[in-house]
């Protein structure tokens, strides 16, 4: 599944590149105002922090929410106190787009994560050109050379890499890379199975001072509290916010977890 998702994202990027060449995207990225300091926004506090996700669908759950106006949803997330907002830009299985990211950037001053299957520099430049402050890099999808190249480019452009892991070996690769923001995804992107206890097992391998993010399997406040007890500084929440009916109230409840 992960290989198919990466291949699809690369194919879509190639289509965009045919009409918007690398030089044009690079110029747009460099013309952007400086990225926001997302790492500082996510650092550990006396309560858990939340990355709230604009998410229409997923391969595991199918359609979740129409989200006709991602900017309006993002404004609710900002009102509710989200420390960052994740915008899914993968179009084939998640129903997202770079236009969503651009619309959200125009609507809120909150740090934004481009969440996609990033595997080449063009996609990183697209992220900055669209206003992203963070870029997701999935360790399982990249070899060491790719991971190092993309991590360096994200930093060079003033953004923050969110390096996502799913196993002990992947955490060690992320730490060896010098990643300062490391996510542990409870969903195995090869099988799409969930393991809510994975974060607590892997968190001790992440050095103190690194931002630790728990991803997936958050359906309610009990899940947020579970991750916080396991050492999470931040939880990334999508489905619970887009399907719950009142994202501001849900965020208020989540952010009360200390």
pTM confidence score: 0.96
* Adjacent-strand bridge partners of 23: none
Burial readout 41-75 (b: 16 or more C-beta within 10 A, e: otherwise): bbbbeeebbbbbbbbbbbeeeeebbebeebbebbb
Residues 135-144, mean pLDDT to the nearest whole number: 97
Does residue 81 carry a pLDDT above 90? yes
The 10s digit of each residue's pLDDT in 42-56 is: 999 999 999 999 999
The DSSP H or E segment spanning 24 is helix 22-31
* Adjacent-strand bridge partners of 113: 86, 134
| Nearest-angstrom CA–CA distance, 180 and 127 | 19
The 10s digit of each residue's pLDDT in 53-69 is: 999 998 888 899 999 99
Q: Where residue 155 falls among pLDDT bands split at 50, 70, 90? A: very high
Higher-confidence position of 245 and 135: 135
Q: Would you tell me how many other CB atoms lie within 10 Å of the CB of residue 29?
A: 21
Percent of the chain scoring above 90 in pLDDT: 93
């Amino acid at each position: 599944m992960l290989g198919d998702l990466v291949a699809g994202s690369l194919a879509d990027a190639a289509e965009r590149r045919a009409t918007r060449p690398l030089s044009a995207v690079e110029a747009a990225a460099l013309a952007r105002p400086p990225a926001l300091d997302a790492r500082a926004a996510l650092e550990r506090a006396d309560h858990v922090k939340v990355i709230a996700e604009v998410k229409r669908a997923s391969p595991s759950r199918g359609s979740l929410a129409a989200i006709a106006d991602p900017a309006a949803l993002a404004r609710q997330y900002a009102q509710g106190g989200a420390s960052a907002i994740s915008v899914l830009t993968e179009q084939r299985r998640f129903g997202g787009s770079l236009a969503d990211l651009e619309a959200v950037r125009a609507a809120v001053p909150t740090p934004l994560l481009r969440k996609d299957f990033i595997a080449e520099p063009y996609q990183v430049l697209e992220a900055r050109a669209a206003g992203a402050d963070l870029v997701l890099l999935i360790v399982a999808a990249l070899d060491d050379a790719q991971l190092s190249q993309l991590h360096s480019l994200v930093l060079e452009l003033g953004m923050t890499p969110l390096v996502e892991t799913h196993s002990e070996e992947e955490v060690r690769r992320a730490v060896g890379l010098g990643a300062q923001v490391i996510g542990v995804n409870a969903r195995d992107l090869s099988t799409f199975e969930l393991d809510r206890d994975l974060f607590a097992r892997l968190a001790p391998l992440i050095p103190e001072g690194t931002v630790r993010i728990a991803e997936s399997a958050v359906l309610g406040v009990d899940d947020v509290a579970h991750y916080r007890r396991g050492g999470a500084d931040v939880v990334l929440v999508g489905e619970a916010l887009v399907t719950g009916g009142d994202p501001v109230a849900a965020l208020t409840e989540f952010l009360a977890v200390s």
